[in-house]
Amino acid sequence: MLSKTAEYALRATIYIALKGSEENKLGIEEIALGIDSPKSFTAKILQLLTQNNRVISSVRGPNGGFYLTDRARKLPVKAILEAVEEASVITKCVLGLKECSETRPCPMHTQYKNIKKQLKQMFEKTSIQQLVDEFNKGNYFIDNLKGVRKPC
């Protein structure tokens, strides 16, 4: 359902939140390796996420890198999707039709509208920090994150 861009953006943000800080900024190479993503693709995604410090903050130079501020950690997961221009995934027609509505529904509209509502609520109400906290409690794991402690 989510594009590769959105998937990598979510994983990169979680990885940076888990491993980085303002004192310990992470480089593109480490992030790409950590989320199992090509370096050039990771760079493009990070560029979208750092525009105007939207989600991720960055500093250039020898001691530079990427990190999340306390403000960013409080952002809903939806902010990541918006930054990579993928927020429409939670509002558009499941079949990709331009004119799908209550008055002109696609064959899956009725079944999917409740799922879409739940997805929207999940992405709007779950913060980046909540995902990090759940991971740190050992309740969840992300196989693709390398170099991050995985719960037993």
Which pLDDT does position 89 carry in this prediction?
81
100 domain-assigned = no
Q: Where on the phi/psi map is residue 113: left (φ > 0), alpha (ψ -120 to 50), or beta?
A: alpha
Let me know if residue 23 belongs to a domain.
yes
Helix (H, G, I), strand (E, B) or coil at 76: strand
What is the number of domains present in the chain? 1
Query: Mind giving me the DSSP string for 15-38?
Result: HHHHH--SSS-B-HHHHHHHHT--
Does residue 63 lie within any of the structural domains? Answer: yes
- Decide if 143 is inside a domain: no
pLDDT, tens digit (0-9, with 9 covering 90-100), for 23-48: 999 999 999 999 999 999 999 999 99
- 58 inside domain: yes
Domain region containing 70: 4-85+127-137
Q: What is the CATH number of the domain that holds 48?
A: 1.10.10.10
Q: What is the per-residue pLDDT for 53?
A: 75
* Residue-level pLDDT at 24: 93
Query: What is the band of 88 on the pLDDT scale with cuts at 50, 70, 90?
Result: confident
Within a domain: residue 105?
no
